């Protein structure tokens, strides 16, 4: 029976026959099982709240993107797998060691009760960071496996990319233009000049639409990154920027969905 199908299929079919267990190819693994928990059930949230503060929130949210943002659909490598802990010496990750150290404290406490993967911890921590800064509550599934080494290099977008470069970069990770614009709203946190550095709101979009784009008198204090301004130059992005500037709850809804997609990127799920 097995010999009549391709090698790939033979493995799947034979294992059904022999053990009653299906060995899914990584890409087809079901993403939820009865053992999957929501973050509100887990001790993680409580321990994370002890180590997080509004001031630390931006770094922690950035950590999520730099771990998960290595994912590419084409070869199904990278993604939210905790590999950031092996990648801290990369130039694009400068400054993120601080955020990993903050989370390490919570991880030690949680591991003593029930081990948690870096991938789960970082995913939940980003959601906690958003909520701590008055952004929307986000439910994150748990059960991610950690990788045992670093992900491929050169996959995070450079701040010098123009809009089409940013779109292409996000497309390779499976994200639409709308999701690119929604996720970029994370830059409302931090010190790039979009409203309060510790309040998660839609001021990123409002400030991007303001003219002139540089505060009077200061070239060096330009608000935002070149990549933030590149989005405004693109008609498709501009439409979303306007919508999110006008409608904060729409931004929150779309950010939530895109965040969940980000933290599920390339994940190998535990399948207990
Ligand atoms: C669209 C492409 C993106 C580019 C080119 C980009 C690049 C950057 C750069 C260069 C910084 C400044 C780092 C520094 O101050 O040293 C930054 C900060 C930040 N990024 Fe992004 N980023 C992008 C998308 C994202 C996404 C999708 C998220 C999360 C969902 C994110 C979260 C953050 C946060 C929260 C900060 C502030 C960190 C802090 O102040 O500590 N970024 N980003």
The fold adopted by the segment(s) 39-155 is Peroxidase; domain 1 (1.10.520)
The fold adopted by the segment(s) 163-253 is Peroxidase; domain 2 (1.10.420)
Distance CA 38, CA 260 (A): 12
Distance CA 258, CA 140 (A): 12
Q: Looking at residue 44, what is its pLDDT?
A: 81
Q: Which of 7, 8, 9, 66 is labelled catalytic?
A: 66
Distance CA 271, CA 44 (A): 20
Distance CA 229, CA 209 (A): 9
Beta-carbon count within 10 A of 16 CB: 12
Atom of ligand 1 minimally distant from the CA of 231: 1
Our mutation pick for probing the ligand 1 site, out of 168, 225, 241, counting the most ligand atoms within 8 A of Cβ, is 225
CA-derived radius of gyration, the chain? 20
**CATH 1.10.520.10 residue spans of the chain:** 39-155
Helix or strand (DSSP H, E) at 124: helix 118-132
Verify whether residue 9 is a known catalytic residue.
no
- Cβ contacts of 35 within 8 Å, gap of 6 or more: 143, 270, 272
Token match 């994940």: residue?
Answer: 267
Q: In Å, how far are 21, 99, 150, 227 from 202, measured between CA atoms?
A: 47, 24, 34, 17
Query: Is residue 67 within 8 Å of residue 131, measured between CB atoms?
Result: no
Quickly count helices (H) and strands (E) in the chain: 11, 0
Atom of ligand 1 minimally distant from the CA of 69: 27
Give the global pTM: 0.86
Q: Is 243 exposed, middle or buried (0-12, 13-18, 19+ CB in 10 A)?
A: middle
Helices marked H in 140-214 — which ranges?
163-172, 177-184, 203-209
Asked if residue 212 has a cis previous peptide bond (ω within 30° of 0), the answer is yes
**CATH 1.10.420.10 residue spans of the chain:** 163-253
Residue 28's SS3 state is helix
pLDDT in single tens digits along all 272 residues of the chain: 333 333 333 222 222 223 333 333 444 444 444 344 444 446 788 899 999 999 999 999 999 999 999 999 999 999 999 999 999 999 999 999 999 999 999 999 999 999 999 999 999 999 999 999 999 999 999 999 999 999 999 999 999 999 999 999 999 999 999 999 999 999 999 999 999 999 999 999 999 999 665 555 444 457 999 999 999 999 999 999 999 999 999 999 999 999 999 999 999 999 85
Q: Looking at residue 219, what is its pLDDT?
A: 42
Distance CA 37, CA 98 (A): 28
Residue identifier of the C-alpha nearest atom 4 of ligand 1: 159
Token match 């997080």: residue?
Answer: 52
Name the nearest CA neighbour of 123 among 27, 261, 29, 252: 261
Q: Looking at residue 20, what is its pLDDT?
A: 33
């Amino acid at each position: 029976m097995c010999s009549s199908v391709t090698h790939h299929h033979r493995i799947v079919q034979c294992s059904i026959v022999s053990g009653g267990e299906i060995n899914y190819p990584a890409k087809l693994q079901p993403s939820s099982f009865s053992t999957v928990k929501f973050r509100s059930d887990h001790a993680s949230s409580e321990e994370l709240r002890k180590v997080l503060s509004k001031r630390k929130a931006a770094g922690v949210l950035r950590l999520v993107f730099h771990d998960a943002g290595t994912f590419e659909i084409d070869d199904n490598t990278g993604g939210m797998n905790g590999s950031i802990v092996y990648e801290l010496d990369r130039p694009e990750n400068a400054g993120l060691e601080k955020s990993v150290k903050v989370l390490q404290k919570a991880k030690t406490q949680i591991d003593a009760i029930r081990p948690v993967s870096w991938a789960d911890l970082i995913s939940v921590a980003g959601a906690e960071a958003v909520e701590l800064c008055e952004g929307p509550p986000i439910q994150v599934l748990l059960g991610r496996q950690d990788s045992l080494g670093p992900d491929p290099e050169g996959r995070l977008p450079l701040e010098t990319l123009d809009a089409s470069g940013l779109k292409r970069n996000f497309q390779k990770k499976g994200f639409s233009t709308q999701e690119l614009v929604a996720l970029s709203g994370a830059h409302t946190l931090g010190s790039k000049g979009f409203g309060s550095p510790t309040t998660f709101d839609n001021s990123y979009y409002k400030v991007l639409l303001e003219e002139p784009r540089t505060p009077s008198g200061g070239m060096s204090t330009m608000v935002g990154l070149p990549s933030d301004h590149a989005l405004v130059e693109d008609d498709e992005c501009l439409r979303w920027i306007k919508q999110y500037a006008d409608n904060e709850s729409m931004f929150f809804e779309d950010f939530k969905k895109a965040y969940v997609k980000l933290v599920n990127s390339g994940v190998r799920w535990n399948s207990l």
